[in-house]
Amino acid sequence: MVVLLKNNPDPKQMENLTNWFHSMGLNTHVSVGEQQTIIGLIGDTSRVDMDVIRALDIVEDVKRIQEPFKNANRKFHPDDTVIDVAGHKIGGGNFQVIAGPCSVESEEQIIGVAKAVKASGATILRGGAFKPRTSPYAFQGLHGKGINLLLEAKRITGMPIITEIMDAATLPLFEDVDIIQVGARNMQNFELLKQLGTIRKPVLLKRGLANTLQELLMSAEYIMAGGNEQVILCERGIRTFETYTRNTLDLSAIPVLRSLTHLPIVVDPSHATGAAYLVKPLAVAAAVAGADGLIVEVHNDPAHALCDGPQSLTPAAFDDMMKRLQKVLPYAVRD
Amino acid sequence: MVVLLKNNPDPKQMENLTNWFHSMGLNTHVSVGEQQTIIGLIGDTSRVDMDVIRALDIVEDVKRIQEPFKNANRKFHPDDTVIDVAGHKIGGGNFQVIAGPCSVESEEQIIGVAKAVKASGATILRGGAFKPRTSPYAFQGLHGKGINLLLEAKRITGMPIITEIMDAATLPLFEDVDIIQVGARNMQNFELLKQLGTIRKPVLLKRGLANTLQELLMSAEYIMAGGNEQVILCERGIRTFETYTRNTLDLSAIPVLRSLTHLPIVVDPSHATGAAYLVKPLAVAAAVAGADGLIVEVHNDPAHALCDGPQSLTPAAFDDMMKRLQKVLPYAVRD
Amino acid sequence: MVVLLKNNPDPKQMENLTNWFHSMGLNTHVSVGEQQTIIGLIGDTSRVDMDVIRALDIVEDVKRIQEPFKNANRKFHPDDTVIDVAGHKIGGGNFQVIAGPCSVESEEQIIGVAKAVKASGATILRGGAFKPRTSPYAFQGLHGKGINLLLEAKRITGMPIITEIMDAATLPLFEDVDIIQVGARNMQNFELLKQLGTIRKPVLLKRGLANTLQELLMSAEYIMAGGNEQVILCERGIRTFETYTRNTLDLSAIPVLRSLTHLPIVVDPSHATGAAYLVKPLAVAAAVAGADGLIVEVHNDPAHALCDGPQSLTPAAFDDMMKRLQKVLPYAVRD
Amino acid sequence: MVVLLKNNPDPKQMENLTNWFHSMGLNTHVSVGEQQTIIGLIGDTSRVDMDVIRALDIVEDVKRIQEPFKNANRKFHPDDTVIDVAGHKIGGGNFQVIAGPCSVESEEQIIGVAKAVKASGATILRGGAFKPRTSPYAFQGLHGKGINLLLEAKRITGMPIITEIMDAATLPLFEDVDIIQVGARNMQNFELLKQLGTIRKPVLLKRGLANTLQELLMSAEYIMAGGNEQVILCERGIRTFETYTRNTLDLSAIPVLRSLTHLPIVVDPSHATGAAYLVKPLAVAAAVAGADGLIVEVHNDPAHALCDGPQSLTPAAFDDMMKRLQKVLPYAVRD
């Protein structure tokens, strides 16, 4: 961290400031220039609050040089984190495809889709029971009943399941869920993240619609700071000015995150694009760019899905995507 | 709502579709063109799920013509909503200034600031007890103790208080709070909004960092759909590419929202800009642009504030701002 | 400028680097930490290319501490620049209203509008002769004939004129134009800016749709580096996710620019909002926030304007706006 | 196009409006609802100016249903455009790699890089002679001398060349250049686009930093409307809030553009990411997502490049990228 002082700082105030840094266990290096005096802070600055320093009378600006995240940081944890989901490993060279409908709608639907995607090679079943919808008048999901239907599909197919949580008060319902998903709109619902830090179950954390990768890692840090180290990061598209796609899938996030963190990275081409015809090209692109997995929407009857129909693949289209994926995966760039 | 069909739609499917619309209580008008057939939907389309329609085989696109919000819509509620906060009215030509520190830090601090801002003309006291912070290592607020300190300041100064909620599970702590604030990062925490729809207390709803005004109104609609009609909208800056300010204050939001909704609109120039020197010019600009109130950060010792110090005004600077505000308010544009 | 070196930098390479900085007239201060070595550069770094330094083997990152603009920088030129346009001063406490139609359409139109806006208090006449339009099929302006019509209006009303240039090759046509406007889409048309640096006539430079204030100042710097110091900056709205307005007017830009530069700042509420009903509230807001002037679209028949009709004021609405403006201008925040 | 009228439109005005539409060769279909009357326009609406219609007294809003571009539209030109660059075809299943340094710096440099990239499989040589730089103090390119050095490299290696134009006045210098590049900042420099419409030479048009795909196609339309149909579209990253990458590469643009237009699509992973370590994963991702080619920066000494060094590959890294590309190209998704 570098602290830039205003011109001609008061020597007494400056001494107080450096003493304060020392009391926080930091070393300081002071550069006195003609126009500008700079204090460099050496040590672990992840707990330093830049805003407090910036508010001081003699300080003009503060710039962070090191990353503010620690548990998620590859520098302090060089090896890939590998997360085991009922025997299916994600990360460290292990690639998994998570598939299923946007919403759980009925027993017939979820079991039908589960069998179909399993046959094509998916290993984990997705399905929404609590649905975040922009409008209070839109379908909000089957809630507890939806989770029970997912558990029934798990019992029948043997596939572990992932579903989204929207409120920590419902955590008891997720006891037999294998991965808990945090949606994009809750990426900075810090109270929810703290609660998920207290459990010992994998959490798939989606990047917010207008959040940076550093903010995503800071939200992962919230979960990890509580002791839960099983965090899977998910790139699902960010808001841009483009209107032909619902969001803009940021595939650069894959190699960037790989360099910054040891956590696995999964890509959601369905929500990112909002259109079925875009899922296959972006799924294979994500795979060769080095993703650790995909999460893809599949519905046996997209035209009558209760939510997000236009972006769901049919089982046949999903099978076609999986075949192409198998071809390109050996050439994925992961160095 | 306008439904655009694909070329040469199947007549049977088209009949099914129009029958379905009729069953929802909508009238249809069909325009058959050389290249394009269009179905216009007449009636209340706020409960129609565009995604479901868009997913149908014969449909190419759907465009909404009318607003998807209803309770918040000025068309169905032409008169301004006026919210009474312990005798201080907001909306309908009544302007209030909410002021106080970012975080409640101590009894001395909150009471000192409360007395100071009251003396300058503020009528409602703000102060954070639950603080949403990007980093898990930053100060998170005094929680219940902070609310008690606010209540003590209320008892002493007679000022009603506003403070932020981050988790519906803490609602019992807010029983004597006068306005409950929902922060920008929770604007689409739909479960929290639903809970706030069940109470009968004013809610100040902040616009999310990358959310549109329509999304803000849809979130207000979540609260109002539950029966709580006392929603105050708050413009607090949106994320843009500009880096000299923390966010970009969108003052066009004031007249735009006034045309769309009857709810009062309050502006937060402190969080929007992140810098004390920008608060005064933008506070007076917001007032003349027609805002119904302001929410401003004031700290008796900004240089040692535990959060957001750089954007807090001193009591003297706040007093100066209030004097200028009094000058311009008679000329505010509210037609 | 602060240069952050990689861990354990090669001492020989480091010596070469500091020698190179010295050869550029810069002083260096080196802080050697346990994990990180930092070189602070003292002196005029506006000509240092950060990318070149960042590419060096031993460098991890470079951060700029001082602004990269010089001629436009208030630090080196503390007094406000005042630009005299045929006797009408802009800047340094002098406020001017520029008004007129989006496009010059006919002699009757431009002279009619000119007389009307002059009667209401506008001092400079605007009108487009070269129109940047997204579609090649839209009206592109009257070109040379349009400039001649503006000159005719100038002769009759005595008002100086401003019009937009799109191609340096047309500069001879602008000989009798009083202010040359550079549109938002040409803000980084660097060849055009260089040409405008060679003339001695005021240039009104509009901020690009997705450009930062620093980029705006760097584009002003292109003109000023050529010797033309008469640059007027114009905030005209930036692209955001909001759709109820065409762009988002960034009024924080006014006090931010005032702190960074001595150049005058003019605001265009018409293009920013795209809607006539938003012009008056944002015009008065811009004035109290400290702008040095406004540029407003006025058309005698907005419903039949050849471009941008919906955002044009009628002469009567403009007159109403001017009256309100006179009320608030004495209370503008300019400190 | 759909025109939404205000409530209870004046019948006389409505008749005038429909007559006007008929006079433009359009058919109209009128739907009269309880609250809303809608006019659907049938026919070629690409020349209809939505703003003019929106300004009419009786009109509330106008929505475009069909694309406003025509020459670039796949609907009217179903077959892929294939562009032949000195025997190297781009588009319609033909994939080319364009490579070379950001700037031409010396004869030794450009010829050295040309030979290296040709040996690895690149077929077209890139190199900047006119460089758009944010700062007037940064290296601006060798101009005419740079083009001559490129022509020398072409003579020696037989590779066709591409280089950027910034000002139509310099067109004569580009006589022997094989592809003329229009940079992102000039995507809406409409005067330049018009000039490039008058020549008969391929133009590579880069997407602007904050432009939509429709705006990119409208800019292509400017060139094509002039009669030059050889336009290559280039996705080079858009501005987002992410800071770890210089821009965000939008790979969805590839399949979206393929569905909208017949023009070839090339991807620039170097400028998009700004970092050499991201080029290889995104280059292969672009290829499998269906791009028609790549444009990649390669420098024989990135650490001493005069511009954009950090994003340039060494010849060895480029060769490694080309090898991986050959593996994945057979599996590219192009349906």
Q: What is the 3-state secondary structure (H, E, C) of A197-227?
A: HCCCCCEEEECCCCCCHHHHHHHHHHHHHCC
Q: Rounded CA gap, C53 and D302, in Å?
A: 11
A35 touches chain C (CB under 8 A): yes
| Nearest chain C CA: its distance from D270 CA (Å) | 14
Q: Rounded CA gap, A279 and A296, in Å?
A: 8
pLDDT over threshold 70, residue A35: no
pLDDT over threshold 90, residue C7: no
The rounded radius of gyration (Å) of the Cα atoms in chain C is: 23
Judge whether D203 and D195 are in contact, CB under 8 Å. Answer: no
Question: Do D249 and A252 make contact, defined as CB atoms within 8 angstroms?
Answer: yes
- Segment A194-235, tens digit of pLDDT: 999 999 999 999 999 999 999 999 999 999 999 999 999 999
pLDDT of residue D33: 65
Give the domain ranges of chain D.
Answer: 2-63, 83-331
Q: What's the topology of domain A83-331?
A: TIM Barrel (3.20.20)
Q: What are phi and psi of A179, to 5 degrees?
A: -130, 135
Question: Do B303 and A55 make contact, defined as CB atoms within 8 angstroms?
Answer: yes
Question: Do D249 and A251 make contact, defined as CB atoms within 8 angstroms?
Answer: yes
**Residues of A whose CB is below 8 A from C248:** none
Question: Do A277 and D255 make contact, defined as CB atoms within 8 angstroms?
Answer: yes
Question: Do D256 and A244 make contact, defined as CB atoms within 8 angstroms?
Answer: yes
Residue range D91-114: mean pLDDT, rounded: 97
The minimal CB distance from C241 to the residues B212, B256, B327 is found for B212
| Nearest chain D CA: its distance from A285 CA (Å) | 4
Q: Using alpha carbons only, what angle is made at residue D244 by residues C53 and D326, rounded to the nearest 5 degrees?
A: 90
Q: Mean of the per-residue pLDDT values for chain D?
A: 92
Q: Which of C215, C252, C254, C326 to mutate to test the interface with B (most CBs of B within 10 A)?
A: C252
- At residue C34 the predicted structure's pLDDT band, cuts being 50, 70 and 90, is low
The stretches of D24-178 forming alpha helices (DSSP H) are 50-54, 107-120, 144-157
Q: Rounded CA gap, B2 and B28, in Å?
A: 10
Residue range A181-201: mean pLDDT, rounded: 97
The minimal CB distance from C310 to the residues D55, D190, D306 is found for D55
Residue range C55-64: mean pLDDT, rounded: 80
pLDDT of residue C328: 97
DSSP state of A325: H
The tens place of each residue's pLDDT in chain B, 335 residues long, gives 888 888 778 888 888 888 888 888 888 878 776 666 778 787 777 777 777 787 777 888 887 777 889 999 998 899 999 999 999 999 999 999 999 999 999 999 999 999 999 999 999 999 999 999 999 988 899 999 999 999 999 999 999 999 999 999 999 999 999 999 999 999 999 999 999 999 999 999 999 999 999 999 999 999 999 999 999 999 999 999 999 999 999 999 999 999 999 999 999 999 999 999 999 999 999 999 999 999 999 999 877 777 777 889 999 999 999 999 999 999 999 98
**Residues of C whose CB is below 8 A from B333:** 280-281, 284, 324
Q: Which residue of C has its CA nearest to D169?
A: C169
**Residues of C whose CB is below 8 A from B213:** 242, 244
Question: Do C328 and B324 make contact, defined as CB atoms within 8 angstroms?
Answer: no
pLDDT over threshold 80, residue A330: yes
Question: Do B65 and D36 make contact, defined as CB atoms within 8 angstroms?
Answer: yes
The minimal CB distance from D324 to the residues A244, A250, A333 is found for A333
Using CA atoms, how far residue D190 sits from C140, D165, D167, D215, in Å, is 10, 13, 11, 12
- Segment A263-321, tens digit of pLDDT: 999 999 999 999 999 999 999 999 999 999 999 999 998 777 777 778 899 999 999 99
Examine domains A2-63 and A83-331 and report if their fold is the same: no
pLDDT over threshold 80, residue D265: yes
Mean pLDDT check: name the lowest of C80-89, C106-115, D21-30.
D21-30
Q: How many helices (H) and strands (E) does chain D have?
A: 10, 14
Residue range C223-251: mean pLDDT, rounded: 97
**Residues of B whose CB is below 8 A from A239:** 210
Question: Do A194 and B56 make contact, defined as CB atoms within 8 angstroms?
Answer: no
**Which candidate, D301, D300, D296, places its Cα nearest to that of D112?**
D300
Q: Rounded CA gap, A326 and C276, in Å?
A: 57
The minimal CB distance from B136 to the residues A189, A225, A239 is found for A225
pLDDT of residue C99: 98
Judge whether D165 and D174 are in contact, CB under 8 Å. Answer: yes
Question: Do C65 and A4 make contact, defined as CB atoms within 8 angstroms?
Answer: yes
pLDDT of residue B23: 82
DSSP D192-238: HHHHHHSS-S-EEEEPPTT--HHHHHHHHHHHHHTT---EEEEE--B
Residues 61-80 of A with CB under 8 A from C: 61, 63, 65-66
- At residue D316 the predicted structure's pLDDT band, cuts being 50, 70 and 90, is very high
**Which candidate, A102, A106, A82, places its Cα nearest to that of A94?**
A82
| Nearest chain D CA: its distance from C130 CA (Å) | 10
pLDDT over threshold 80, residue C31: no
| Nearest chain B CA: its distance from A142 CA (Å) | 14
Give the N- to C-terminal CA distance of chain C in Å, as an integer.
29
The minimal CB distance from C2 to the residues A34, A38, A42 is found for A38
The rounded radius of gyration (Å) of the Cα atoms in chain B is: 23
| Nearest chain C CA: its distance from D82 CA (Å) | 24
pLDDT of residue A17: 85
The minimal CB distance from B46 to the residues A68, A137, A190 is found for A137
The minimal CB distance from A278 to the residues D252, D285, D286 is found for D252
All partners of chain B with 3 or more CB pairs under 8 angstroms: A, C, D
**Residues of B whose CB is below 8 A from A137:** 46-47, 68, 225
pLDDT of residue B16: 82
* Structure-block tokens of residue B246: 């923390």
Q: Using alpha carbons only, what angle is made at residue A77 by residues A76 and A81, rounded to the nearest 5 degrees?
A: 155
Q: How many CB pairs under 8 A join A and B?
A: 117
Question: Do D32 and B32 make contact, defined as CB atoms within 8 angstroms?
Answer: no
- At residue D35 the predicted structure's pLDDT band, cuts being 50, 70 and 90, is low
Q: Which residue of C has its CA nearest to A30?
A: C31
pLDDT of residue D210: 96
Q: Which residue of A has its CA nearest to C239?
A: A241
- At residue D91 the predicted structure's pLDDT band, cuts being 50, 70 and 90, is very high
Query: Is C27 strand, coil or helix?
Result: strand
**Residues of A whose CB is below 8 A from B50:** none
Question: Do D212 and A249 make contact, defined as CB atoms within 8 angstroms?
Answer: no
The neighbouring-strand residues paired with B180 are B163, B203
Q: Which residue of D has its CA nearest to B65?
A: D4
Q: Rounded CA gap, B326 and B122, in Å?
A: 12
| Nearest chain A CA: its distance from C174 CA (Å) | 35
Q: Which residue shows structure tokens 């599949």?
A: A298
pLDDT of residue C1: 80
Q: Mention the CATH class of domain C2-63.
A: alpha beta
Question: Do B29 and D35 make contact, defined as CB atoms within 8 angstroms?
Answer: no
**Residues of D whose CB is below 8 A from C137:** 46-47, 68, 225
**Residues of A whose CB is below 8 A from D213:** 242, 244
Residues 251-310 of B with CB under 8 A from A: 302-310
**Which candidate, D286, D230, D283, places its Cα nearest to that of D254?**
D286
**Residues of D whose CB is below 8 A from A210:** 241
Is the model's pTM score more than 0.95?
no
**Residues of C whose CB is below 8 A from D307:** 49, 51-52
- Segment D124-159, tens digit of pLDDT: 999 999 999 999 988 899 999 999 999 999 999 999
Q: What are phi and psi of D177, to 5 degrees?
A: -75, 140
Question: Do A242 and D288 make contact, defined as CB atoms within 8 angstroms?
Answer: no
The secondary structure of D173-203, three-state, reads: HHCCCCEEEECHHHCCCHHHHHHHHCCCCCE
Q: Which of B64, B135, B239, B306 to mutate to test the interface with A (most CBs of A within 10 A)?
A: B135
Q: Rounded CA gap, A75 and A72, in Å?
A: 9
Tell me the residue ranges of DSSP E strands in chain B: 2-5, 27-32, 37-42, 59-63, 83-85, 88-90, 96-100, 124-126, 161-165, 179-182, 203-206, 231-235, 265-267, 293-297
